Amino acid sequence: MKNENVLITDEEGKIKNIVPQEDAGEDVEIFEGILSPGFVNGHCHLELSHLKNVIPEKTGLIDFVFKVVSERHFGEDEIFAAMETAEWEMRKKGVVAVGDISNNSLSLVQKQKRNLQYYNFIETSGWLPQVAEIRFEKSKEIFDAFENEGLQASIVPHAPYSVSKELWKKIVPYFSGKTISIHNQETAHEDIFFMEGKGDFTKMYEMMKIDNSFYRAQKIRSVESYFKKFSNAASVILVHNTFTKQEDLDFINEHKNSDQLISFCLCPNANLYIENSLPDVDLFLKNDCNIILGTDSLASNHQLDILEEIKTIVQKFPLIKTETLLQWATVNGAKALQMENFLGSFKKGKKPGVVLIENVDGQKITEKSKPKRLL
Protein backbone atom coordinates (compact mmCIF):
# COMPACT_ATOMS: atom_id res chain seq x y z
CA MET A 1 0.00 0.00 0.00
CA LYS A 2 1.58 3.27 -1.15
CA ASN A 3 -0.47 5.78 0.76
CA GLU A 4 -0.68 4.46 4.26
CA ASN A 5 -3.82 6.22 5.40
CA VAL A 6 -7.15 4.54 6.00
CA LEU A 7 -10.56 6.08 5.38
CA ILE A 8 -13.04 5.15 8.09
CA THR A 9 -16.78 5.43 7.50
CA ASP A 10 -19.83 4.10 9.30
CA GLU A 11 -22.09 1.57 7.59
CA GLU A 12 -24.10 4.28 5.84
CA GLY A 13 -20.97 5.89 4.42
CA LYS A 14 -20.68 8.81 6.83
CA ILE A 15 -17.02 9.83 7.15
CA LYS A 16 -15.67 9.15 10.62
CA ASN A 17 -11.97 9.76 10.12
CA ILE A 18 -8.83 9.37 8.05
CA VAL A 19 -6.11 7.75 10.13
CA PRO A 20 -2.65 6.20 9.63
CA GLN A 21 -2.83 2.48 8.93
CA GLU A 22 -1.27 1.52 12.26
CA ASP A 23 -4.17 3.22 14.08
CA ALA A 24 -6.90 1.73 11.91
CA GLY A 25 -7.16 -1.58 13.70
CA GLU A 26 -8.36 -4.78 12.06
CA ASP A 27 -10.86 -5.12 9.26
CA VAL A 28 -9.13 -2.80 6.78
CA GLU A 29 -10.02 -3.33 3.13
CA ILE A 30 -7.32 -2.56 0.61
CA PHE A 31 -8.22 -1.38 -2.91
CA GLU A 32 -6.09 -0.90 -5.99
CA GLY A 33 -6.57 2.58 -7.50
CA ILE A 34 -7.65 6.03 -6.32
CA LEU A 35 -10.38 6.63 -3.73
CA SER A 36 -12.48 9.70 -4.45
CA PRO A 37 -15.55 11.27 -2.87
CA GLY A 38 -18.68 10.76 -5.02
CA PHE A 39 -18.87 12.81 -8.21
CA VAL A 40 -21.07 15.85 -8.76
CA ASN A 41 -22.55 16.11 -12.24
CA GLY A 42 -22.96 19.87 -12.59
CA HIS A 43 -25.08 19.81 -15.73
CA CYS A 44 -27.50 17.19 -16.96
CA HIS A 45 -30.97 16.92 -18.51
CA LEU A 46 -32.31 13.63 -17.12
CA GLU A 47 -35.61 14.19 -18.95
CA LEU A 48 -33.83 13.85 -22.33
CA SER A 49 -32.43 10.38 -21.57
CA HIS A 50 -34.73 8.77 -24.17
CA LEU A 51 -32.86 10.69 -26.90
CA LYS A 52 -29.77 8.48 -26.57
CA ASN A 53 -28.41 7.81 -30.08
CA VAL A 54 -31.27 9.78 -31.69
CA ILE A 55 -29.53 13.06 -32.60
CA PRO A 56 -26.64 12.86 -35.09
CA GLU A 57 -23.18 14.02 -33.96
CA LYS A 58 -21.16 17.09 -34.95
CA THR A 59 -23.96 18.98 -36.71
CA GLY A 60 -23.41 22.24 -34.79
CA LEU A 61 -25.60 23.69 -32.06
CA ILE A 62 -28.38 25.11 -34.22
CA ASP A 63 -29.28 21.82 -35.87
CA PHE A 64 -28.88 20.09 -32.53
CA VAL A 65 -31.30 22.42 -30.71
CA PHE A 66 -33.75 22.17 -33.58
CA LYS A 67 -33.62 18.36 -33.49
CA VAL A 68 -34.09 18.22 -29.70
CA VAL A 69 -37.09 20.55 -29.87
CA SER A 70 -38.70 18.60 -32.72
CA GLU A 71 -37.80 15.06 -31.65
CA ARG A 72 -38.09 15.09 -27.87
CA HIS A 73 -41.70 13.96 -27.80
CA PHE A 74 -41.88 10.25 -26.98
CA GLY A 75 -44.44 8.25 -25.02
CA GLU A 76 -44.28 8.84 -21.27
CA ASP A 77 -43.52 5.20 -20.46
CA GLU A 78 -40.48 5.29 -22.67
CA ILE A 79 -39.33 8.57 -21.11
CA PHE A 80 -39.78 7.24 -17.55
CA ALA A 81 -37.91 4.01 -18.32
CA ALA A 82 -35.02 5.89 -19.96
CA MET A 83 -34.70 8.23 -16.96
CA GLU A 84 -34.64 5.33 -14.53
CA THR A 85 -31.89 3.55 -16.47
CA ALA A 86 -29.86 6.74 -16.89
CA GLU A 87 -30.04 7.52 -13.18
CA TRP A 88 -29.07 3.97 -12.24
CA GLU A 89 -26.05 4.21 -14.57
CA MET A 90 -25.03 7.54 -13.04
CA ARG A 91 -25.20 6.05 -9.55
CA LYS A 92 -23.17 3.06 -10.57
CA LYS A 93 -20.51 5.32 -12.08
CA GLY A 94 -20.07 7.21 -8.81
CA VAL A 95 -22.32 10.25 -9.25
CA VAL A 96 -23.97 11.36 -6.01
CA ALA A 97 -25.44 14.74 -6.97
CA VAL A 98 -26.74 16.35 -10.15
CA GLY A 99 -27.51 19.87 -11.31
CA ASP A 100 -30.40 18.89 -13.54
CA ILE A 101 -32.32 20.93 -16.09
CA SER A 102 -36.08 20.41 -16.19
CA ASN A 103 -38.36 21.85 -18.84
CA ASN A 104 -41.31 19.88 -17.50
CA SER A 105 -42.15 17.87 -14.41
CA LEU A 106 -41.66 14.39 -15.91
CA SER A 107 -38.46 13.77 -13.96
CA LEU A 108 -40.20 14.48 -10.65
CA VAL A 109 -41.30 10.84 -10.23
CA GLN A 110 -37.72 9.58 -10.53
CA LYS A 111 -36.32 12.30 -8.31
CA GLN A 112 -38.83 11.59 -5.55
CA LYS A 113 -37.11 8.23 -5.10
CA ARG A 114 -34.16 10.23 -3.78
CA ASN A 115 -31.52 7.92 -5.20
CA LEU A 116 -29.37 10.96 -5.96
CA GLN A 117 -29.26 14.52 -4.70
CA TYR A 118 -30.66 16.90 -7.29
CA TYR A 119 -30.59 20.64 -7.67
CA ASN A 120 -33.43 21.13 -10.15
CA PHE A 121 -33.02 23.95 -12.62
CA ILE A 122 -36.49 24.71 -13.94
CA GLU A 123 -35.56 26.04 -17.32
CA THR A 124 -37.51 28.73 -19.05
CA SER A 125 -37.16 30.06 -22.58
CA GLY A 126 -39.10 32.26 -24.97
CA TRP A 127 -37.54 34.65 -27.43
CA LEU A 128 -40.75 36.40 -28.41
CA PRO A 129 -41.66 39.15 -25.92
CA GLN A 130 -45.36 38.28 -26.19
CA VAL A 131 -44.86 34.74 -24.81
CA ALA A 132 -43.03 35.90 -21.66
CA GLU A 133 -46.09 35.76 -19.40
CA ILE A 134 -47.27 32.32 -20.45
CA ARG A 135 -43.76 30.80 -20.39
CA PHE A 136 -43.11 32.23 -16.94
CA GLU A 137 -46.41 30.89 -15.60
CA LYS A 138 -45.58 27.43 -16.91
CA SER A 139 -42.12 27.44 -15.32
CA LYS A 140 -43.49 28.73 -12.04
CA GLU A 141 -45.97 25.87 -11.95
CA ILE A 142 -43.19 23.30 -12.48
CA PHE A 143 -41.01 25.07 -9.90
CA ASP A 144 -43.85 24.89 -7.35
CA ALA A 145 -44.39 21.20 -8.08
CA PHE A 146 -40.72 20.46 -7.27
CA GLU A 147 -40.64 22.67 -4.18
CA ASN A 148 -43.88 21.15 -2.87
CA GLU A 149 -42.16 17.77 -2.91
CA GLY A 150 -39.29 19.19 -0.87
CA LEU A 151 -36.87 19.07 -3.81
CA GLN A 152 -34.37 21.84 -4.26
CA ALA A 153 -35.22 23.98 -7.29
CA SER A 154 -34.70 27.32 -8.99
CA ILE A 155 -36.10 28.99 -12.10
CA VAL A 156 -33.33 29.52 -14.65
CA PRO A 157 -32.92 30.99 -18.14
CA HIS A 158 -32.09 28.51 -20.90
CA ALA A 159 -29.55 30.64 -22.78
CA PRO A 160 -28.86 34.31 -23.56
CA TYR A 161 -30.27 33.94 -27.09
CA SER A 162 -33.54 32.30 -26.04
CA VAL A 163 -34.86 34.53 -23.24
CA SER A 164 -36.49 37.89 -24.00
CA LYS A 165 -35.96 40.99 -21.87
CA GLU A 166 -39.57 40.63 -20.71
CA LEU A 167 -39.05 37.03 -19.58
CA TRP A 168 -35.80 37.92 -17.79
CA LYS A 169 -37.69 40.57 -15.83
CA LYS A 170 -40.15 37.97 -14.57
CA ILE A 171 -37.55 35.41 -13.44
CA VAL A 172 -34.89 37.66 -11.88
CA PRO A 173 -36.74 38.03 -8.52
CA TYR A 174 -36.62 34.24 -8.14
CA PHE A 175 -32.79 34.09 -8.25
CA SER A 176 -32.36 35.33 -4.70
CA GLY A 177 -30.20 32.95 -2.63
CA LYS A 178 -30.45 30.22 -5.26
CA THR A 179 -28.03 28.40 -7.53
CA ILE A 180 -28.78 29.51 -11.10
CA SER A 181 -27.50 27.99 -14.32
CA ILE A 182 -27.39 29.18 -17.92
CA HIS A 183 -26.05 27.65 -21.14
CA ASN A 184 -23.25 30.02 -22.09
CA GLN A 185 -21.24 30.52 -25.30
CA GLU A 186 -21.74 26.99 -26.57
CA THR A 187 -21.21 28.21 -30.12
CA ALA A 188 -19.27 31.10 -31.66
CA HIS A 189 -22.57 32.26 -33.15
CA GLU A 190 -23.85 33.37 -29.76
CA ASP A 191 -21.52 36.38 -29.65
CA ILE A 192 -22.11 37.09 -33.35
CA PHE A 193 -25.86 37.27 -32.63
CA PHE A 194 -25.35 39.79 -29.80
CA MET A 195 -22.63 41.79 -31.53
CA GLU A 196 -24.04 41.93 -35.04
CA GLY A 197 -27.54 40.43 -35.00
CA LYS A 198 -26.46 37.92 -37.63
CA GLY A 199 -25.31 34.34 -38.00
CA ASP A 200 -26.78 30.95 -37.25
CA PHE A 201 -29.26 32.11 -34.60
CA THR A 202 -31.17 34.23 -37.10
CA LYS A 203 -31.24 31.07 -39.23
CA MET A 204 -32.51 29.04 -36.26
CA TYR A 205 -35.39 31.42 -35.64
CA GLU A 206 -36.31 31.17 -39.32
CA MET A 207 -36.27 27.36 -39.07
CA MET A 208 -38.50 27.57 -35.99
CA LYS A 209 -40.77 30.08 -37.73
CA ILE A 210 -40.19 32.61 -34.95
CA ASP A 211 -40.42 36.20 -36.16
CA ASN A 212 -37.14 37.77 -35.05
CA SER A 213 -37.72 41.13 -36.76
CA PHE A 214 -38.14 42.95 -33.42
CA TYR A 215 -34.55 42.15 -32.42
CA ARG A 216 -31.80 44.79 -32.55
CA ALA A 217 -28.26 43.62 -31.75
CA GLN A 218 -26.87 45.48 -28.74
CA LYS A 219 -23.29 45.36 -30.11
CA ILE A 220 -22.04 43.80 -26.89
CA ARG A 221 -20.78 40.32 -26.09
CA SER A 222 -23.27 37.69 -24.97
CA VAL A 223 -22.00 37.64 -21.36
CA GLU A 224 -22.35 41.42 -21.15
CA SER A 225 -25.98 41.14 -22.20
CA TYR A 226 -27.09 39.17 -19.16
CA PHE A 227 -24.50 38.57 -16.45
CA LYS A 228 -25.53 41.47 -14.19
CA LYS A 229 -29.04 40.04 -13.92
CA PHE A 230 -27.63 37.34 -11.60
CA SER A 231 -26.58 39.80 -8.92
CA ASN A 232 -28.83 38.38 -6.20
CA ALA A 233 -28.11 34.66 -6.90
CA ALA A 234 -25.94 32.89 -4.31
CA SER A 235 -24.25 30.72 -6.92
CA VAL A 236 -24.15 30.93 -10.71
CA ILE A 237 -23.16 28.12 -13.06
CA LEU A 238 -22.21 29.06 -16.60
CA VAL A 239 -22.44 25.90 -18.66
CA HIS A 240 -20.23 24.90 -21.63
CA ASN A 241 -18.20 28.12 -22.13
CA THR A 242 -16.75 26.63 -25.29
CA PHE A 243 -16.11 30.06 -26.82
CA THR A 244 -15.54 32.07 -23.64
CA LYS A 245 -12.60 34.48 -23.79
CA GLN A 246 -10.49 36.45 -21.35
CA GLU A 247 -12.61 39.57 -21.88
CA ASP A 248 -15.70 37.62 -20.75
CA LEU A 249 -13.96 36.49 -17.57
CA ASP A 250 -12.80 40.06 -16.94
CA PHE A 251 -16.37 41.32 -17.28
CA ILE A 252 -17.66 38.63 -14.92
CA ASN A 253 -14.95 39.34 -12.34
CA GLU A 254 -15.70 43.02 -12.45
CA HIS A 255 -19.46 42.60 -12.00
CA LYS A 256 -19.83 39.62 -9.69
CA ASN A 257 -20.81 40.14 -6.08
CA SER A 258 -18.07 39.45 -3.58
CA ASP A 259 -20.17 36.86 -1.73
CA GLN A 260 -21.28 35.10 -4.88
CA LEU A 261 -19.75 31.91 -6.29
CA ILE A 262 -19.40 31.83 -10.08
CA SER A 263 -18.66 28.39 -11.55
CA PHE A 264 -17.76 27.30 -15.05
CA CYS A 265 -19.21 23.93 -15.89
CA LEU A 266 -17.30 22.10 -18.61
CA CYS A 267 -19.05 19.35 -20.57
CA PRO A 268 -16.28 18.33 -22.99
CA ASN A 269 -17.91 15.20 -24.40
CA ALA A 270 -21.10 17.08 -25.27
CA ASN A 271 -19.03 19.84 -26.88
CA LEU A 272 -17.30 17.26 -29.06
CA TYR A 273 -20.66 15.62 -29.84
CA ILE A 274 -22.40 18.83 -30.88
CA GLU A 275 -19.82 21.35 -32.09
CA ASN A 276 -16.69 19.20 -32.26
CA SER A 277 -14.75 21.76 -30.24
CA LEU A 278 -13.52 22.12 -26.67
CA PRO A 279 -13.34 25.07 -24.28
CA ASP A 280 -10.00 26.71 -23.52
CA VAL A 281 -9.50 24.86 -20.23
CA ASP A 282 -6.16 26.60 -19.57
CA LEU A 283 -7.94 29.97 -19.64
CA PHE A 284 -10.18 28.98 -16.71
CA LEU A 285 -7.24 27.53 -14.81
CA LYS A 286 -5.16 30.64 -15.38
CA ASN A 287 -8.01 32.78 -14.05
CA ASP A 288 -8.41 30.58 -10.97
CA CYS A 289 -12.07 29.88 -11.79
CA ASN A 290 -14.27 27.43 -9.91
CA ILE A 291 -14.35 24.76 -12.62
CA ILE A 292 -16.94 22.01 -12.36
CA LEU A 293 -17.82 19.11 -14.68
CA GLY A 294 -21.06 18.04 -16.32
CA THR A 295 -22.22 15.43 -18.79
CA ASP A 296 -25.09 17.32 -20.43
CA SER A 297 -27.80 14.88 -21.57
CA LEU A 298 -27.85 11.56 -23.38
CA ALA A 299 -29.06 13.54 -26.40
CA SER A 300 -25.49 14.86 -26.72
CA ASN A 301 -23.40 12.27 -24.91
CA HIS A 302 -22.93 8.52 -25.09
CA GLN A 303 -22.94 8.17 -21.30
CA LEU A 304 -23.56 10.16 -18.12
CA ASP A 305 -20.17 9.37 -16.63
CA ILE A 306 -18.05 12.09 -15.04
CA LEU A 307 -14.87 10.00 -15.32
CA GLU A 308 -15.36 9.92 -19.11
CA GLU A 309 -15.39 13.75 -19.06
CA ILE A 310 -12.15 13.72 -17.06
CA LYS A 311 -10.58 11.29 -19.53
CA THR A 312 -11.39 13.59 -22.45
CA ILE A 313 -9.76 16.52 -20.63
CA VAL A 314 -6.71 14.41 -19.72
CA GLN A 315 -6.24 13.51 -23.37
CA LYS A 316 -6.24 17.13 -24.57
CA PHE A 317 -4.70 18.75 -21.49
CA PRO A 318 -2.32 16.11 -20.08
CA LEU A 319 -0.53 18.50 -17.73
CA ILE A 320 -3.50 19.05 -15.42
CA LYS A 321 -2.98 17.15 -12.16
CA THR A 322 -5.33 14.31 -11.22
CA GLU A 323 -5.93 15.99 -7.88
CA THR A 324 -7.14 19.16 -9.63
CA LEU A 325 -9.44 17.22 -11.95
CA LEU A 326 -10.96 15.34 -9.04
CA GLN A 327 -11.60 18.62 -7.22
CA TRP A 328 -13.56 19.83 -10.26
CA ALA A 329 -15.55 16.58 -10.21
CA THR A 330 -16.30 16.64 -6.48
CA VAL A 331 -15.90 19.55 -4.08
CA ASN A 332 -16.16 22.36 -6.66
CA GLY A 333 -19.46 20.94 -7.94
CA ALA A 334 -20.75 20.47 -4.39
CA LYS A 335 -20.01 24.14 -3.66
CA ALA A 336 -21.74 25.28 -6.85
CA LEU A 337 -24.88 23.31 -5.94
CA GLN A 338 -24.71 24.55 -2.34
CA MET A 339 -24.26 20.96 -1.12
CA GLU A 340 -20.79 21.37 0.33
CA ASN A 341 -22.04 20.77 3.88
CA PHE A 342 -22.65 17.12 3.22
CA LEU A 343 -20.93 16.24 -0.09
CA GLY A 344 -17.76 16.75 -2.08
CA SER A 345 -14.94 15.69 0.25
CA PHE A 346 -13.88 13.18 2.90
CA LYS A 347 -14.37 15.66 5.71
CA LYS A 348 -15.55 14.20 9.01
CA GLY A 349 -19.36 14.09 9.25
CA LYS A 350 -20.07 14.30 5.49
CA LYS A 351 -21.67 11.48 3.54
CA PRO A 352 -20.10 12.10 0.15
CA GLY A 353 -20.18 8.61 -1.37
CA VAL A 354 -16.96 6.67 -1.99
CA VAL A 355 -15.75 5.93 -5.51
CA LEU A 356 -12.85 3.71 -6.45
CA ILE A 357 -11.13 4.69 -9.69
CA GLU A 358 -9.64 1.49 -11.04
CA ASN A 359 -6.97 0.94 -13.71
CA VAL A 360 -4.94 4.04 -12.97
CA ASP A 361 -1.29 4.50 -13.85
CA GLY A 362 0.24 5.53 -10.52
CA GLN A 363 -1.79 8.66 -9.75
CA LYS A 364 -2.74 9.22 -13.41
CA ILE A 365 -6.17 8.60 -14.90
CA THR A 366 -5.80 6.81 -18.21
CA GLU A 367 -8.02 5.77 -21.12
CA LYS A 368 -8.60 2.46 -19.31
CA SER A 369 -9.62 3.92 -15.92
CA LYS A 370 -13.06 3.04 -14.62
CA PRO A 371 -15.17 4.28 -11.70
CA LYS A 372 -16.69 1.86 -9.22
CA ARG A 373 -19.05 2.99 -6.51
CA LEU A 374 -18.15 1.49 -3.15
CA LEU A 375 -20.58 3.42 -0.94
Q: Please, what is the minimum distance in Å from the beta carbon of residue 159 to Zn ion?
A: 9
Q: Please, what is the minimum distance in Å from the beta carbon of residue 300 to Zn ion?
A: 7
Q: Please, what is the minimum distance in Å from the beta carbon of residue 250 to Zn ion?
A: 25
Nearer to Zn ion, 151 or 274 (CB): 274
Q: Please, what is the minimum distance in Å from the beta carbon of residue 296 to Zn ion?
A: 5
Q: Please, what is the minimum distance in Å from the beta carbon of residue 166 to Zn ion?
A: 23
Nearer to Zn ion, 296 or 305 (CB): 296
Nearer to Zn ion, 87 or 296 (CB): 296
Nearer to Zn ion, 102 or 369 (CB): 102
Residues 6+ apart with CB under 8 A from 366: 311, 314, 359, 360
Q: Please, what is the minimum distance in Å from the beta carbon of residue 44 to Zn ion?
A: 8
Nearer to Zn ion, 296 or 340 (CB): 296
Q: What is the number of the residue whose Cβ is closest to Zn ion?
A: 296
Phi and psi at residue 27, to the nearest 5°: 65, 30
Nearer to Zn ion, 191 or 296 (CB): 296
Nearer to Zn ion, 184 or 330 (CB): 184
Enumerate binding residues for Zn ion (CB under 5 A).
296
Q: Are 264 and 236 in contact (CB under 8 A)?
A: no
Q: Please, what is the minimum distance in Å from the beta carbon of residue 22 to Zn ion?
A: 48
Nearer to Zn ion, 296 or 309 (CB): 296
Q: Please, what is the minimum distance in Å from the beta carbon of residue 311 to Zn ion?
A: 20
